[in-house]
């Protein structure tokens, strides 16, 4: 059974604060990092060396501790911060992605099987928001449609795009990655933000009576709402990861709910650990988690991976840092997990981990970056 909480507070329609949307959405959907099996090729013109871009003074400590990568991986990763870029791990290059190579934004990427979608605002009104798509293996961001938000569909291929009409009311419609409509446009209640499509309906961001962020299932066709998951941290097409009521900056076990059966598995966490964010692998068999040890927003952070079938949590070696928690990206086959964590200075540290392995591999990454998704 899941904890079901009634709708949002009375009074003015609740709109999720920006920090809530960013915190929850970053960890939601099926985050992935590109896994391309082709052999390394010479860098294209305009591609800079990752080691040259990411060179750091000798006295700047790395955020992660690990070994130097000695083999090919096939990984290409999208990062953003001071412009959208592709990091090719094997070829040791960082390549700008036109037409957004000079933008400065922390984008919320939505990985699907064919590539990665995101919404970019160029001003503060809905008319200035555009959904872009970077095809898997591609090197250019393609405009798809106008939209104020984008989420993965339950099938892992299509997208749910949120738009606004002339009166400012929000609508959501399922589309293909090339912009073709797959459904009518459905009105969204004022207190909802669409996070992802699931086998049980759309997972939306709402608020519980205490004002804590919660995920609630919603059927856009009938308008009916379903189960609510307090302090949601990640969602896949048929599995929900959440913490429960009262678990903001408090150490609580992780809960994994199967949407088909309704069964919830409880996963113990290390003593004093607070899960900040989580990301499912593409097949939802694994869940990467970032944990703060001690809570309060000031403790060291570490990363781990949960086996969803067994509920076993394994802490990843070399990922305990004193800086902010890492962001994640899974390879499309779930074989590799990429991590990026800010260090104590402007330098960042990027690492990759092979599923089931005992070693964390350090790889060059750009400064002032935010690991987004595959490329």
Reported confidence tier of residue 190, pLDDT bands at 50, 70, 90: confident
Query: Does 13 reside within a domain?
Result: no
Query: Does 254 reside within a domain?
Result: yes
Question: What tens digit of pLDDT does each residue of 337-353 get?
Answer: 999 876 544 446 788 99
Query: Does 6 reside within a domain?
Result: no
Beta carbons of 101 and 94 less than 8 angstroms apart: no
Q: Report the pLDDT averaged over residues 293-307.
A: 82
Query: Does 41 reside within a domain?
Result: yes
Query: Does 2 reside within a domain?
Result: no
Query: Does 4 reside within a domain?
Result: no
Residue 245 in this model has a pLDDT that exceeds 60: yes
Q: What is the pLDDT of residue 33?
A: 26
Residues 367, 371: Cα–Cα separation, whole Å: 11
Predicted TM-score (pTM) above 0.75: yes
Give the contacts of 282 (CB within 8 A, at least 6 positions apart). 30, 32, 111, 113, 156, 330, 332, 333, 334
Q: What is the pLDDT of residue 87?
A: 86
Beta carbons of 266 and 311 less than 8 angstroms apart: yes
Q: What is the pLDDT of residue 17?
A: 39
Alpha helices of the chain — where are they, by DSSP H? Answer: 18-26, 50-53
Q: What is the pLDDT of residue 55?
A: 35
Q: Mean pLDDT highest for which of 118-127, 280-289, 329-338?
A: 280-289
| CATH number, domain with residue 50 | 2.120.10.30
Residues 110, 133: Cα–Cα separation, whole Å: 9
Q: How many domains does the chain have?
A: 1
Q: Decide which of 323 and 309 is more confident.
A: 309
Lowest mean pLDDT across 45-59, 109-123, 308-322:
45-59
What number of other Cβ atoms are within 10 A of residue 191's Cβ? 18
Give the tokens for residue 20: 């809530």
DSSP of 304-316: EEEETTTTEEEEP
Lowest mean pLDDT across 11-25, 251-265, 285-299:
11-25
Q: What domain range includes position 280?
A: 18-374
Place of tokens 């749910």: 160
Question: What tens digit of pLDDT does each residue of 322-331 get?
Answer: 767 788 999 9
Q: What is the pLDDT of residue 295?
A: 59
Residue 93 in this model has a pLDDT that exceeds 50: yes
Reported confidence tier of residue 312, pLDDT bands at 50, 70, 90: very high
Q: What is the pLDDT of residue 106?
A: 55
Residue 363 in this model has a pLDDT that exceeds 90: no
Q: Decide which of 366 and 229 is more confident.
A: 229
Q: Mean pLDDT highest for which of 20-34, 121-135, 279-293, 331-345?
A: 279-293
Reported confidence tier of residue 287, pLDDT bands at 50, 70, 90: very high
Q: What is the pLDDT of residue 296?
A: 61
Instruction: Provide the mean pLDDT of the chain.
Output: 78
Q: What is the pLDDT of residue 89?
A: 87
Phi and psi at 331, nearest 5°, equal -70, 160
Query: Does 251 reside within a domain?
Result: yes
Residue 354 in this model has a pLDDT that exceeds 50: yes
Beta carbons of 29 and 152 less than 8 angstroms apart: yes
Question: What tens digit of pLDDT does each residue of 192-236 get?
Answer: 899 999 999 999 998 777 777 899 999 999 999 999 999 999 999
Query: Does 7 reside within a domain?
Result: no
Q: What is the pLDDT of residue 78?
A: 86
DSSP of 114-183: TEEEEEEESSSSGGGEEEEEEETT--S-EEEEE-SEEEE-TTSSSEEEEEE-TTS-EEEEEE-TTS-B-S
In the structure, how many helices (H) and strands (E) does the chain have? Answer: 2, 31
Residue 172 in this model has a pLDDT that exceeds 70: yes
């Amino acid at each position: 059974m899941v904890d079901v909480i009634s709708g949002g507070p009375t009074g003015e329609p609740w709109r999720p604060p920006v920090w809530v949307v960013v915190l929850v959405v970053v960890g939601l959907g099926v985050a992935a990092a590109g896994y391309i099996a082709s052999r390394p090729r010479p860098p294209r013109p305009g591609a800079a060396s990752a080691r040259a871009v990411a060179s750091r003074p000798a006295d700047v400590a790395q955020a992660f501790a690990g070994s130097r990568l000695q083999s090919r991986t096939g990984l290409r990763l999208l990062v953003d911060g001071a412009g959208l870029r592709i990091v090719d791990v094997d070829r040791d290059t960082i390549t700008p992605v036109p037409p957004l190579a000079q933008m400065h934004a922390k984008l919320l990427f939505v990985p699907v099987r064919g590539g990665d979608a995101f919404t970019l605002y160029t001003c503060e009104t809905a008319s200035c928001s555009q959904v872009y798509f970077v095809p898997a293996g591609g090197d250019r961001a393609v405009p798809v449609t106008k939209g104020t938000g984008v989420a993965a569909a339950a099938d892992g291929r299509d997208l749910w795009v949120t738009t606004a009409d002339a009166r400012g009311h929000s609508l959501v419609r399922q589309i293909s990655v090339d912009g073709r409509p797959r459904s009518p446009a459905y009105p969204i209640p004022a207190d909802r933000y669409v996070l992802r499509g699931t086998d049980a309906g759309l997972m939306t961001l709402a608020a519980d009576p205490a004002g804590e962020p919660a995920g609630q299932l919603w059927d856009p066709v009938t308008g009916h709402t379903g189960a609510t998951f307090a302090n949601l941290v990640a969602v896949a097409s048929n599995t929900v990861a959440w913490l429960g009521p009262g678990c903001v900056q408090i150490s609580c076990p992780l809960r994994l709910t199967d949407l088909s059966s309704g069964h919830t598995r409880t996963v113990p966490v290390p003593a004093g650990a607070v899960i900040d964010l989580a990301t499912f692998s593409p097949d939802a068999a694994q869940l990467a988690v970032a944990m703060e040890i001690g809570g309060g927003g000031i403790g060291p952070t570490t990363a781990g991976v949960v086996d969803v079938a067994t509920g076993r949590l394994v802490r990843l070696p070399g990922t305990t840092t004193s800086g902010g928690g890492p962001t994640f990206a899974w390879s499309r086959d779930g074989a590799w997990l990429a991590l990026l964590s800010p260090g104590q200075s402007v330098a960042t540290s990027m690492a990759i981990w092979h599923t089931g392995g005992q070693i964390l591999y350090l790889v060059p990454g750009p400064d002032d970056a935010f690991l987004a998704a595959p490329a």
